[in-house]
Amino acid sequence: MTERLVVIGGVAAGMSAASRARRLRPDLEILVFEKSGFVSYGSCGLPYFVSDIIKAPENLVVYDAKFFKEKRNIDVFTHHEALKIFPAKRTLLVKNLENDKEFEVQYDKLVIATGARAVRPNVKGVDLKGIFTIRFLEDGIEIKSFIKENSPRKALIVGAGYIGMEMAESLVSVGMDVLIVEQMPNILGTMDDEINEVVEQELQRNGVKLLKSTSVDEFIGENGYVRKAKLSNGEIVDAELVLIGAGIKPNSEIAKEAGIEIGRTGAIAVNQRMETNISGIYSAGDCAEAFHLVLNRPVYIPLGTTANKQGKVAGENAAGGNAIFKGIVGTAVFKVFDLEVARTGLSEKQAKAEGFDYVSTVIEHGSRAHYYPGGSKIRVKLIADRKTGRLLGAEMVGRDGVAKRIDVFATALHAKLTIDEIGQLDLSYAPPFAPVWDPVLIAANDLEKKIKK
Amino acid sequence: MTERLVVIGGVAAGMSAASRARRLRPDLEILVFEKSGFVSYGSCGLPYFVSDIIKAPENLVVYDAKFFKEKRNIDVFTHHEALKIFPAKRTLLVKNLENDKEFEVQYDKLVIATGARAVRPNVKGVDLKGIFTIRFLEDGIEIKSFIKENSPRKALIVGAGYIGMEMAESLVSVGMDVLIVEQMPNILGTMDDEINEVVEQELQRNGVKLLKSTSVDEFIGENGYVRKAKLSNGEIVDAELVLIGAGIKPNSEIAKEAGIEIGRTGAIAVNQRMETNISGIYSAGDCAEAFHLVLNRPVYIPLGTTANKQGKVAGENAAGGNAIFKGIVGTAVFKVFDLEVARTGLSEKQAKAEGFDYVSTVIEHGSRAHYYPGGSKIRVKLIADRKTGRLLGAEMVGRDGVAKRIDVFATALHAKLTIDEIGQLDLSYAPPFAPVWDPVLIAANDLEKKIKK
């Protein structure tokens, strides 16, 4: 009998797993069940679809179900929801959402790539029309057509995280007035103040209002459409379109019910082979934990890159291979208006909370030779262990050359380099691309002085 | 008596050494002798000064002699040439080029940062007016005023290295027809063919003619000005301005005469503290060797970044400190028209010549998410040791996001990472900056397959 691999979820991790397994095992039967109508799309591109930089939703799709069937012999079932896993008999209960029929499929190997869902605050009026989260391609399509049909002028964004920032740019670009409310006293979660203040200035420069330590108490509607929001500070603000970017939660319930171990983060616990505690069942992507190489423990930092890497490893092992996913270092980057904001490893806030004895520095230096046009100041914050000098984390913000510079620090974190070693890296230099002392080196050399003291 | 540090050469390495020594030792007397009229300038910016992207020569100068005297208490003597070192009595014979007077100065510590000089081919007519090398700020000023006064239309560049490429762009941008002749069968020295072919296409696209395996036999003049050149293929070509970019030679003679050890490369031999074999004498920059961390031996790869780093270490040690310069990995980047071309570590040619048992791969992948505008294909070539999988080198070419991506590989070379480790790096991802699988990861994962075989 043909061996069968079943994959739950067909976006980043799921399709990576299926594709990898197919490459190694032409004989394997591979079935993918995806709840939504699309597979293999770049959800990180949704803000740019809303702002119309990307015209058609199909442009975000890497490959469609037809491609996977014809080119890779992978059976993709869209609009199919996985309801329950029966590990003892190795079956999965699936519901066809188009005809509501349920059926059970047998599997030899199972990859759980159920992803995550956006958190919606439990306040009055949250189900009014015009209130969105942005997670699935369908969300992007709905928001875009809502804007087209209703021409909202006043947008309210709940949550000043990455998605909130990207969507602020997106909604301003299509002509809306944007207010962001953030319930924490600072934006961007664990990012440090020296970076956040630059981001706040950029929001202001682009007319985006920001209220920190503020949440929404109630959404107020008219004919079923959201019109206003009552804030925790008592203010009532216009809100003709609301975007909720208040975090995401792993879809780990189906795993938990099947007796699969859930980590302390609430996501599915996996080892370096992406195996769960139940033999033959793997997990990858936004529903799973990842091992953090600086913190030395599993964390929940769901990102597309990690999902792809984990999916590939899960697929290889499910196909009988022997792949290892070593872990992440917490790298992230986003664009907000003309700013590039990036981080890797631990922020100072995190280093402090984790009890590290650390030193830190903040420097500013040009992205190109001082005499070459197009350059811009980059602000770099570095955090290192005081005793060993080992890099713990880096944050950067600027208008030019930030995104890929953070990768030097990410690589340094993987290699556990010290600040002393980073300060001597033989980095590329030519006037159009960098100053002779790259901001990366300037920051490291500055921090080294503090370590030597 | 006050201890005295004497530095020969006041550009990158020399002024770095002097400044570093001053920071550590406010009491030290510091004298710098510089042959030319300028100190502390960015010679890498000269092509952009010629093309008028940079208007005034002063824009290339970081600090002038007055600044060093007033702000750092460093006595800088421009137009002063060091003629001879007497290590036994710790003195230096110096000539004031403005009045031709010679004098001897005593030193306690000496830093030799005499730099390098451009090689001029020994052919008839090479001293005609209109034939330039570009090394000093004065060279740039002369070329720019020559162009202004003589409006040359036909430019000939001898040598298809970095400088030749940058100057081709520069001279085309001010309206000249440019022909490059290169005596070797390929451009760019040890760079591999897969990169070079893209560069050659870019030259062609911009109307630059290129003749490989061709040298100049004679420069033909009129009224003392160069007009034509006779090539080794028999052709006679117009040449109203000639730029010679045929490599540089270390100014190591003054050291050699003093009994200082010269390395096999012809440059001054130094240890990790930038000490020469004579106690109290240091060397740094384009006159000195650097230790290559992949080849595990001293090499001569003179670059501004290395000069700055070495100078800093020499200055610290000359001031009684204890700094180490670990070495370089051979990183370089240049811009030619719209292309960014970068390398680090060994090319395949070098790996082969050095007898490595290597594997290599060439891939192409987008610089941004496929759906995000402004991206462009990057070609990546990677070379790794077959048995250990350790990265040996990387080359990249493309129109977007190349320069700082090479730094990931440079960092990986410092850390001696394997291709397997590089393929899992947690690199930054957001659609405006990178695809979900960065070209760096794609290349590493592709090469890993060959290692596993």
Nearest CA in chain A to B417: A415
d(CA B233, CA B242): 18
DSSP class of residue A447 equals: H
Cβ neighbours of residue A200 under 8 Å, at least 6 residues apart? A187, A210
The answer to whether the Cβ–Cβ distance between B425 and A410 falls below 8 Å is: yes
List the domains of chain B with CATH numbers: 4-39+57-116+249-318 (3.50.50.60), 120-246 (3.50.50.60), 338-452 (3.50.50.60)
For residues B211 and B231, is the Cβ–Cβ distance under 8 A? yes
Whole-number pLDDT of residue B453: 61
For residues A256 and A262, is the Cβ–Cβ distance under 8 A? yes
What is the mean pLDDT, run by run of 10 residues, along chain B of 453 residues? 94 96 97 94 91 92 91 96 98 98 98 96 96 95 97 98 97 98 97 98 98 98 98 98 96 98 98 98 98 98 96 98 97 98 98 98 96 95 97 98 97 98 97 96 96 74
d(CA A149, CA A143): 10
d(CA A38, CA B372): 19
For residues B10 and B78, is the Cβ–Cβ distance under 8 A? yes
Q: Does residue B287 carry a catalytic annotation?
A: no
Nearest CA in chain A to B60: A371
The answer to whether the Cβ–Cβ distance between A371 and B426 falls below 8 Å is: no
Give B-chain residues touching A417 at CB under 8 angstroms. Answer: 411, 414-415
Residue entry with tokens 């990859």: A111
Give A-chain residues touching B425 at CB under 8 angstroms. Answer: 407, 410-411, 414
Q: If we measure between CA atoms, which residue out of A164, A159, A202, A200 comes closest to residue A181?
A: A159
Q: Collapse the DSSP code of A252 into the 3-class scheme (helix H, G, I; strand E, B; otherwise coil) and give the result.
A: coil
d(CA A125, CA B451): 58
Phi and psi for B407 in degrees, rounded to 5? -65, -25
Q: Name the maximum alpha-carbon separation found in chain A.
A: 70
Q: If we measure between CA atoms, which residue out of A314, A261, A402, A241 comes closest to residue B401?
A: A402
Residue entry with tokens 């702000």: B71
Give B-chain residues touching A173 at CB under 8 angstroms. Answer: none
- Whether the per-residue pLDDT at A19 is higher than 80: the answer is yes
d(CA A359, CA A362): 11
**How close is the nearest chain B Cα to the Cα of A439, in Å?**
12
The answer to whether the Cβ–Cβ distance between B410 and A433 falls below 8 Å is: no
The answer to whether the Cβ–Cβ distance between A425 and B431 falls below 8 Å is: no
Nearest CA in chain A to B439: A404
Residue of A3, A23, A37, A44 marked catalytic = A44
Cβ neighbours of residue A5 under 8 Å, at least 6 residues apart? A18, A21, A28, A29, A30, A31, A107, A108, A109, A110, A111, A318, A319
Specify burial of residue B89 (Cβ count, 10 A radius: 0-12, 13-18, 19+). Answer: exposed
The answer to whether the Cβ–Cβ distance between A407 and B410 falls below 8 Å is: no
Give A-chain residues touching B404 at CB under 8 angstroms. Answer: 401, 404-405, 407-408, 428, 433-434
**How close is the nearest chain A Cα to the Cα of B84, in Å?**
31
Q: Band of the pLDDT at A43, cuts 50, 70, 90?
A: confident
Q: Amino acid identity, residue A298?
A: P
The answer to whether the Cβ–Cβ distance between B407 and A410 falls below 8 Å is: no
The Cβ-side half-sphere exposure at B137, using a 13 Å CA radius, reads: 21
Nearest CA in chain A to B438: A305
From A327, A333, A436, residue closest to B304, measured CB to CB: A436
Among B407, B413, B440, most A C-beta atoms within 10 A, so best to mutate, is: B407
For residues A172 and A147, is the Cβ–Cβ distance under 8 A? no
Gyration radius of chain B over CA positions: 23
d(CA A188, CA A195): 10
From B373, B403, B424, residue closest to A434, measured CB to CB: B403
How far CA B38 is from CA of A132, A252, B72, B131, B139, in Å, comes to 62, 67, 17, 22, 12
Whole-number pLDDT of residue A411: 98
Count Cβ atoms below 10 Å from residue B445 Cβ, excluding itself: 19
Q: Encoding tokens for residue B367?
A: 């610089």
**What dihedral do alpha carbons A183, A184, A190, A192 form, nearest 10°?**
120
d(CA B91, CA B102): 13
The Cβ-side half-sphere exposure at A97, using a 13 Å CA radius, reads: 12
Residues B58-87 as b or e (16 or more Cβ within 10 Å = b) = ebbbbbbbeebeeebebebbbebbbeebeb
The answer to whether the Cβ–Cβ distance between A42 and B436 falls below 8 Å is: yes
DSSP class of residue A280 equals: T
d(CA B155, CA B166): 13
Strand order across the beta sheet in which A209-211 lies: A131-132, A241-244, A154-158, A177-181, A209-211
ipTM at complex level: 0.96
Nearest CA in chain A to B406: A428
From A306, A332, A404, residue closest to B405, measured CB to CB: A404
Whole-number pLDDT of residue B228: 98
Strand partners, B306: none
Specify burial of residue A247 (Cβ count, 10 A radius: 0-12, 13-18, 19+). Answer: middle
DSSP per residue, B204-226: HHTT-EEESS--EEEEEEETTEE
Among B273, B404, B449, most A C-beta atoms within 10 A, so best to mutate, is: B404
User: Of A58 and A218, which is predicted with more confidence?
Assistant: A218
d(CA A406, CA A329): 12
Count Cβ atoms below 10 Å from residue B98 Cβ, excluding itself: 11
- Whether the per-residue pLDDT at A314 is higher than 70: the answer is yes
Give B-chain residues touching A371 at CB under 8 angstroms. Answer: 42, 45, 48, 54, 59-60
For residues B369 and B436, is the Cβ–Cβ distance under 8 A? yes
Nearest CA in chain A to B418: A415
Q: If we measure between CA atoms, which residue out of A160, A143, A175 comes closest to residue A341?
A: A160
Nearest CA in chain A to B431: A45
Chain A with chain B: Cβ pairs closer than 8 A: 211
Residue entry with tokens 């955090």: A383
**How close is the nearest chain B Cα to the Cα of A427, in Å?**
5
The answer to whether the Cβ–Cβ distance between B369 and A404 falls below 8 Å is: no
Tens of pLDDT along A200-231?
999 999 999 999 999 999 999 999 999 999 99
From A60, A331, A417, residue closest to B426, measured CB to CB: A331
- Whether the per-residue pLDDT at A453 is higher than 70: the answer is no
Give A-chain residues touching B444 at CB under 8 angstroms. Answer: none
Q: Encoding tokens for residue A442?
A: 């300037």
Q: Encoding tokens for residue B340?
A: 């960014």
Tell me how long chain A is: 453
Residue of B24, B44, B184, B427 marked catalytic = B44
d(CA B99, CA B219): 34
For residues B74 and B32, is the Cβ–Cβ distance under 8 A? yes
d(CA B140, CA B10): 18
For residues A367 and A331, is the Cβ–Cβ distance under 8 A? no
How far CA A7 is from CA of A14, A35, A93, A154, A243, in Å, comes to 6, 12, 12, 41, 31
The answer to whether the Cβ–Cβ distance between A427 and B329 falls below 8 Å is: no
d(CA A118, CA A136): 10
Q: How far apart are the first and last CA of chain A?
A: 68
